[in-house]
Chains A and B, each alone.
Chain A
Amino acid sequence: MGGLLHTVLVDPFVQMWTLPDFFVQVLWEGLVSGILYALIALGFVLIFKASAVFNFAQGIMVVFAALSLVGLHRLGVPAFVALGLCVLIMLALAVAVERLVLRPLVNQPDIILFMATIGLTYFLIGLGELVFGGEPKVMITSELLLPTGSYVWETLGGRVILQQIDIAAAVIAAAMVAVLAVVFQRTKIGRALRAVADDHQAALSVGIALETIWVVVWFAAGVVALATGIMWGARSDVSFALQIVALKALPVLVLGGLTSVPGAIMGGLIIGIGEKLGEIYWGGLLGGGIESWLAYLIALAFLLVRPQGLFGERIIERV
């Protein structure tokens, strides 16, 4: 018993202390993963805030956007033109979703809209496979002028390896979050979006066009999906397996709340760093591979303290 307690409560911290460079590496990897989880979660939050729809298709949107980018480039389209075209494709997708999925289902229960996004998922899987095929593709990282090397930081008696693509991911994700924050806080469309998020009917009564807002948020989620697809694609490859990565957003959303942009970011970072620390320092005790469920455990632990999530709205209903 004493040995077990030592292994659980003492050994991991001794390891952190004796191999500080490795500990920093773990924190860095957790931070990068967390930022990428936050990006995925952001896509969910944007749509949920404006339309109360849990967009099951967010994962496949990541794949679809990345596949479109690589597919267009393979057809001979220059990388940045392909990037621009992909943004237009995500806009077209947003318009199509609003016209063909959301508008006919307006005023339907939330579960109907949720089911519709499941349908959209399978439609996009089929369309993606039909147009681009199922083979994995290599992300056009260098063509997009994204860095691919690594820096070795000799520190703390060892080394910390920083991948340039991870640094770029962190910078781009931070920039996207900043832009989205400014758009939502400082612009007319942002105020309209927040109004819709607060109360659909009240927003409608003051002349805010719900349809336009839906197109805007689905487009913003599409652009976030494109950025996510580029970053995850560069770390691995561009294949339909990427949609599984999107499942990582679920514990982030449980933790951060479905309606909070800061919650998605903080939730992503906590899950990213928490699961890395858990897997590296405690995972061996349970045979390894604990990351998949550890993220949910962390989220549940937070929920015990804050049932509404980190930044979620506290709902008080009089009965």
Chain B
Amino acid sequence: MRLHRLLAGGTVALALALAAPTGPALAEDTLYVPLLTYRTGPFAGSGIPIADGMRDYLVMLNERDGGIGGVKLVIEECETGYDAQKGVECYESTKGKGALIYNPYSTAITLQLIPKAPVDKIPILSMAYGLSATAVGEVFPWAFNPPLTYWDGASAVLAYIAEQEGGLDQLSGKKIGFIYLDAGYGREPIPLLEQMAERYGFQLLKYPVPGDQMQNQSSQWLNVRRDNPAYMVMWGWGAMNPTAVKEAAKIRFPMERFIGVWWSGGEDDARPAGADAVGYKTMNINAVGQDYPVIQDILTHVVDKGLSKVSDRSRVGENLYNRGVMNSVLIAEAIATAQRATGKKLVTAEDVRLGLETMSFTEERMAELGVTGFFQPFQVSCKNHAPGNRVYIQQWDGKTWQPASDWFESDREVVWPLLEKAAADYVAQNPDWPKRAEPCA
């Protein structure tokens, strides 16, 4: 009898525990920032360092400064597994908690959230990913992709290849291979690359890698061997990256002619191939290493206090970790800018949208934030949501990434009109797309 009561009591207690609301406690005087992350599944290799970097910077602000403008941040991670459906579920389950901003960390999720943003009035920050056309602020007031778009990336990598070959006119007649994750993310730069191929007369060879073939790319690389392109450009993510580097080495493709986008440049992307990966290059938009005040503050206030989820102290400062930090610097600056603009400490998502659209990373402001040299200065505007079209090339030396070029720009003369056209096409395909409430000056 006692056993039955015990069991019944335990069951009730368990039921009550399960019925209790989960997630962090939300006080009225806090700023709620949900983070759509993925620490599990096939893309966890790329997702974990970014999630760690994003989270650690925001935790550092809480620990060092008491939050932003004296208001504590409530940070809640929601696991998407890089799956669009789960990403939307995360969005729907957190938006009612007063979410100030969303970082989908997936182009597919971003595409799903772009139409929801003007309805729910919560801005989307897809930092250097997502739909390239959202750079056009006149059309997409609620979506931001600073500092630059995938189309800038495609333009920049071609500029780099042209520089290696002695000029854009030298691309004519050459074969340039493009291996990409066959998903929204990987397909995003194709329109730009195709137009560039037509303009400069090179042959674009496309090698799609389906999601279920990420670790089984021998066919794609056999095709590369047969086609013998002069350069290979990669838009890979998760387990696709290290496999591609290994397969490239396997067919003896010259590594210094293999260039990835900034999302294909994690340490774990190059490391598994060992010495064979030496020479592999990627574009980058942030610095690598711990020699920055912002990283030192994270080490002091978060990692050394045991508040980080990072698996090892040495992983702080790795490329994708720093990318996550950069992302959160942008989040925090958007909130801080909103606070300054409105005079309110407890800003709303609409205020943060204004903050995103007016935030300015000048040398002075970057020095205040401890991010001098961490990324390039840029200033978002009403018209231009991706104004920082600069990258540099990094190269794997067998142990770490080393800069292999100065910062250089994409060709905005070419890219911007195409972005505007793509934005106009988006509106044409979505007749109910809401017009911007206040046109840009």
How far, in whole Å, are A148 and B250 apart by their CA atoms in the complex?
11
Interface of A is mostly: helix
Q: Mark B210-230, 1 if CB is under 8 A from A, else 0.
A: 111111101110110110000
Q: Which of A196-204, A288-296, A305-313 contacts B (4 or more CB under 8 A)?
A: A288-296
B45 within 8 A of A: yes
Of B39, B42, B226, which is within 8 A of A244 by CB? B42
User: Which residues of the partner chain B approach A248 to less than 8 Å between Cβ atoms?
Assistant: 216
How far, in whole Å, are A241 and B209 apart by their CA atoms in the complex?
14
User: Which residues of the partner chain B approach A25 to less than 8 Å between Cβ atoms?
Assistant: 222, 225
Q: Is the CB of A236 within 8 A of B212?
A: no
Q: Is the CB of B215 within 8 A of A242?
A: yes
Q: Is the CB of A292 within 8 A of B212?
A: yes
Of A129, A161, A242, A276, which is within 8 A of B40 by CB? A129
User: Which residues of the partner chain A approach B39 to less than 8 Å between Cβ atoms?
Assistant: 129, 134
Of B209, B210, B250, which is within 8 A of A163 by CB? B250
Q: Mark B296-335, 1 if CB is under 8 A from A, else 0.
A: 0000000000000001000000000000000000000000
Q: Is the CB of A276 within 8 A of B219?
A: yes
Q: Is the CB of A135 within 8 A of B272?
A: no
Q: Mark B167-204, 1 if CB is under 8 A from A, else 0.
A: 00000000000000010000000000000000000000
How far, in whole Å, are A133 and B220 apart by their CA atoms in the complex?
30
B279 within 8 A of A: no
Q: Which of B59-67, B89-97, B236-244, B419-427 contacts A (4 or more CB under 8 A)?
A: B236-244
User: Which residues of the partner chain B approach A161 to less than 8 Å between Cβ atoms?
Assistant: 250-252
* Max count, chain A CB within 10 A of own CB: residue among B42, B246, B251: B42
B86, chain A: closest CB distance, angstroms:
14
B397 within 8 A of A: no
How far, in whole Å, are A236 and B244 apart by their CA atoms in the complex?
8
- Size of chain A's interface in residues, with CB distance under 8 A? 42
Of A139, A148, A150, A280, which is within 8 A of B226 by CB? A280
User: Which residues of the partner chain A approach B48 to less than 8 Å between Cβ atoms?
Assistant: 133-135
* Max count, chain A CB within 10 A of own CB: residue among B48, B215, B220, B250: B215
How far, in whole Å, are A163 and B48 apart by their CA atoms in the complex?
31
Of A33, A134, A148, A289, which is within 8 A of B218 by CB? A33
A116 within 8 A of B: no
Q: Is the CB of B272 within 8 A of A236?
A: yes
B117 within 8 A of A: no
How far, in whole Å, are A37 and B230 apart by their CA atoms in the complex?
33
How far, in whole Å, are A190 and B225 apart by their CA atoms in the complex?
46
How far, in whole Å, are A26 and B222 apart by their CA atoms in the complex?
7
Of A26, A241, A284, which is within 8 A of B215 by CB? A241
A64 within 8 A of B: no
User: Which residues of the partner chain A approach B268 to less than 8 Å between Cβ atoms?
Assistant: 135-136, 237
A231, chain B: closest CB distance, angstroms:
11
Say whether, besides A241-B239, A287-B206, A236 and B215 are in contact (CB < 8 Å): yes
How far, in whole Å, are A12 and B176 apart by their CA atoms in the complex?
22
Q: Is the CB of B207 within 8 A of A292?
A: no
Name the residue of chain B whose CB is nearest to the CB of A136: B45
User: Which residues of the partner chain A approach B272 to less than 8 Å between Cβ atoms?
Assistant: 136, 138-139, 236-237
B37, chain A: closest CB distance, angstroms:
11
A191 within 8 A of B: no
B44 within 8 A of A: yes
B370 within 8 A of A: no
Q: Is the CB of A280 within 8 A of B219?
A: yes
Q: Is the CB of A276 within 8 A of B239?
A: no
Name the residue of chain B whose CB is nearest to the CB of A15: B226
Which residues, 14 to 49 on B, are CB-close (under 8 Å) to A?
39-45, 47-48
Of B215, B219, B238, which is within 8 A of A235 by CB? B215
Q: Is the CB of A289 within 8 A of B209?
A: yes
User: Which residues of the partner chain B approach A283 to less than 8 Å between Cβ atoms?
Assistant: 219, 223
Q: Is the CB of B223 within 8 A of A150?
A: no
A247 within 8 A of B: yes
4 nearest CB pairs, A to B? A241-B42, A241-B239, A134-B44, A289-B208
Give 14 CB contacts A-B under 8 Å: A135-B44, A135-B311, A148-B274, A241-B41, A244-B215, A245-B212, A245-B215, A247-B212, A279-B219, A280-B223, A288-B208, A288-B223, A289-B209, A289-B220
Q: Known contacts A136-B242, A241-B239, A244-B211; can you find 18 more A-B pairs with CB under 8 A?
A: A32-B218, A135-B268, A136-B44, A136-B268, A148-B274, A150-B250, A236-B239, A236-B242, A237-B239, A237-B242, A239-B45, A241-B41, A242-B239, A245-B215, A245-B216, A247-B212, A288-B220, A291-B219
